[in-house]
Amino acid sequence: MRAARLIRMALLVQSSPGLTGAALARELEVSERTVIRDAQALQEAGVPIRSELGRGGGYHLAPGYRTRLTTLHPTEAETLFLSGLPTALRDLGLAGAADAARLKLSATLIPSVRAAAESSTRRFLLDAPAWFREPSAPELLPELARAVWSDHTVELTYARPDRATVTRLLEPYGLVLKAGVWYVVGRVPDRDGAWRTYRVDRVRATAAGEPFARDPAFDLAAHWEAGAAEFARAMMRATVSLRTTEAGLRRVRAVADPAGLAAATGPDEDGLVTVELPVESEEVAFGQLVSLGAAVEVVAPAGLRARFREHAQALIELYQR
């Protein structure tokens, strides 16, 4: 959007005076002609930006002028503060820089907009380190998001991995996008305020409840980081034994959660290794492993092995027609 680009251009010139038209074009991913037009638009909007020639030239703001993002709508600020990916930043060693940048940005916002931005960071977290996976958009996600925003309880009808359904009254504190899957994090008042995490795509129904008093000290990012490993282990209720090659093992890591993958034993006389893979259920394991075809052999459990055999036979019958 052009408005977002204009804001970014003003901030770039403010933080790095003297940027040339070519440098701004690269940063903004536009042509130099577009940079010139955008500079004119900023001037018409009252931003004193100018272009100077020669050594020390480039684009500058008038001396003493500082852009203040006081025209941001609260919804825009909320969206802006949702743009961080904490896991990736931490892995790159940039978490400290990102925190400093958000503090500097917060200092430029008027109080009402700053409150909206900070509110979004308490309620939503994007933790999406996996590549090549499109985030799912569960049907009931918008309803849960409204409950999170408004601090209202919600009654969930939830399908467990074993397909049994349960009903829970939840105080929804936040939503997390993890590797393309949405989760809702909240407290269950009927169970002494125990914290629970539910996959949104397994929520079968919701019913809005009453407002609840949100704990202002709750830190969604810290809570998620502390509980993510334990939650992942709790989800893994079954184990699949696989036999494959080293190359096949790399493909397994690409389609399944590699966190609990046991060390491979072997290779055997056929050059194959054996590994134990924790999974949520045989149903989930089939969906993850079927795409690998003959690269991986399921050794156990017997029921899953039989399902692969039936699937292979169905393919043979289909292609022999």
Measured N-to-C along each axis, helices 32-44 and 2-15 cross at an angle, to the nearest 10 degrees, of 90
DSSP-derived 3-state class of residue 162: coil
Q: Give the angle subtended at the CA of 140 by the CAs of 137 and 146, to the nearest 5°.
A: 105
Axis-axis angle for helices 111-123, 95-108 (nearest 10): 150
* pLDDT 10s digits, 45-66: 888 888 888 776 789 888 877 6
Q: What is the pLDDT of residue 187?
A: 94
Residue type, 19: L
Angle between helices 302-319 and 282-289 (to 10 degrees): 40
The per-residue pLDDT for 271 is 82
Question: Would you state the pLDDT for residue 186?
Answer: 94
Q: pLDDT digit string (tens) for 187-207? A: 999 888 889 989 888 999 999
CA dihedral for 85, 89, 95, 101, sign (positive or negative)? negative
Whether 70 and 116 have beta carbons less than 8 Å apart is answered as no
Q: How far apart are CA 200 and CA 38, in angstroms?
A: 42
- One DSSP character per residue, 280-321 reads S-HHHHHHHHGGGGGGEEEEE-HHHHHHHHHHHHHHHHHHT-
The b-or-e profile of 219-257 (16+ CB within 10 A means b, else e) is ebbebbeeebeeeeeebbebebbbbbbeebbebbeeebb
Q: Residue 112's pLDDT is what? A: 58
The closest of 240, 246, 300, 299 to 271, measured between CA atoms, is 246
Give the pLDDT means over successive 10-residue stretches in the chain (321 positions). 77 84 90 91 86 80 68 54 53 54 54 61 64 65 88 93 86 84 90 88 92 91 80 73 85 72 75 84 85 87 92 91 82
Residue 186 CA to residue 184 CA, distance in Å, equals 7
Estimate the crossing angle of helix 111-123 against helix 220-235, to 10 degrees: 20
The rounded distance, in Å, linking the Cα atoms of 31 and 19 is 14
- Please answer whether residues 144 and 184 qualify as being in contact, where contact means their C-beta atoms are separated by less than 8 angstroms: yes
